[in-house]
């Protein structure tokens, strides 16, 4: 987490040619000291360098970007950097629940539908998984009732997660666009996708109600 100059606007997302930068204010009490959560994404293989070297690379790659990108990178310490490779689960499992003996095994969160972070839905879906599973198995006795609840969990979750993963993969392709023609196609795609993905009150990513 970084602290930009006082009064500087920080919330937002910017796309470049194969690069992406997102900044989100966390408030003064986050992690006991407040600050800004930011994510910088660069197309390509995972970097093997130390966090300090990777931070130096980020400062160079994003040097010409608008404020406060440079200020946030300058205010970040190497020990605060968490380099991560963007991974996803391909293909998705055909089922999220498997009977075994009087109960079974279920898949939740990244074990069921790991996806790129470009729509910020990974943790949200994991909470939905847990809420759905709890609702279905809360009163199920071991044996056939519990097995049926596990099957119901898989049927309930897979259509939604598949839809969100599909949207995330589309956005991932958009974010990683490089080259003049690809960037033009990206900008045109964003014009079409934005009403469906960002801020639409009836978008699939936000249209979920916890089970009773």
Arithmetic mean of pLDDT, 102-130: 90
Per-residue pLDDT band for 177 (boundaries 50, 70, 90) equals: low
Arithmetic mean of pLDDT, 142-160: 95
* 154-175 pLDDT tens trace: 999 999 999 999 888 877 777 6
Does position 56 have pLDDT exceeding 50, yes or no?
A: yes
pLDDT: which is higher, 26 or 128: 128
- Structure tokens belonging to residue 80: 């605060």
Does position 70 have pLDDT exceeding 70, yes or no?
A: yes
Backbone angles phi, psi at 19, to 5 degrees: -125, 155
In the chain, where the domains are located: 12-80, 97-197
d(CA 209, CA 201): 13
To the nearest whole number, what is the mean pLDDT of the chain?
82
d(CA 86, CA 75): 24
- Please report how many Cα atoms fall inside a 13 Å half-sphere around the Cα of residue 90, on the Cβ side: 8
Per-residue pLDDT band for 107 (boundaries 50, 70, 90) equals: very high
pLDDT at position 74, please?
92
Cβ neighbours of residue 22 closer than 8 Å, sequence gap 6 or more: 12, 13, 14, 38, 39
d(CA 23, CA 89): 26
DSSP class per residue in the chain = -B-PPTT----EEEE-SSEEEEEEEEETTGGGT-EEEEEEEESSSPP-S-HHHHHHHHHHHTTTSPTTHHHHHHH--GGG---------SSPPS-SEEEETTEEEE--THHHH---STTS-HHHHHHHHHHHHHHHHTTPPTTHHHHHHHHHHHHHHHHHHHHHHHHHHHHHHHHT--SHHHHHHHHHHHHHHHHHHSS-TT-TTT------
Angle subtended at Cα 19 by Cα 33 and Cα 75, rounded to the nearest 5 degrees = 25
Cβ neighbours of residue 65 closer than 8 Å, sequence gap 6 or more: 14, 16, 21
């Amino acid at each position: 987490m970084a602290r930009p100059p006082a009064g500087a606007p920080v919330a937002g997302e910017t796309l470049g040619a194969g690069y992406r930068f997102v900044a989100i204010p966390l408030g003064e009490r986050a992690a006991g000291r407040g600050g800004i959560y930011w994510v910088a994404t660069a197309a390509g293989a995972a970097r093997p360098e130390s966090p300090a070297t990777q931070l130096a690379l980020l400062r160079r790659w994003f040097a010409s970007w608008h404020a406060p990108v440079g200020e946030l990178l300058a205010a970040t310490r190497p020990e605060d950097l968490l380099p991560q490779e963007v991974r996803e689960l391909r293909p998705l499992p055909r089922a999220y629940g498997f009977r075994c003996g009087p109960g079974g095994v279920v898949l939740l969160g990244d074990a069921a539908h790991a996806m790129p972070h470009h729509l910020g839905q990974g943790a949200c879906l994991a909470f939905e998984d847990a809420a759905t599973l709890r609702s279905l198995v809360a009163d199920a006795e071991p044996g056939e009732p519990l097995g049926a609840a596990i099957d119901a969990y898989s049927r309930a979750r897979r259509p939604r997660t598949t839809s969100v993963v599909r949207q995330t993969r589309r956005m991932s392709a958009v974010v990683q666009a490089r080259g003049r023609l690809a960037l033009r196609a990206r900008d045109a795609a964003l014009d079409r996708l934005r009403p469906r993905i960002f801020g639409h009150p009836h978008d699939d990513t936000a249209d979920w109600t916890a089970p009773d």
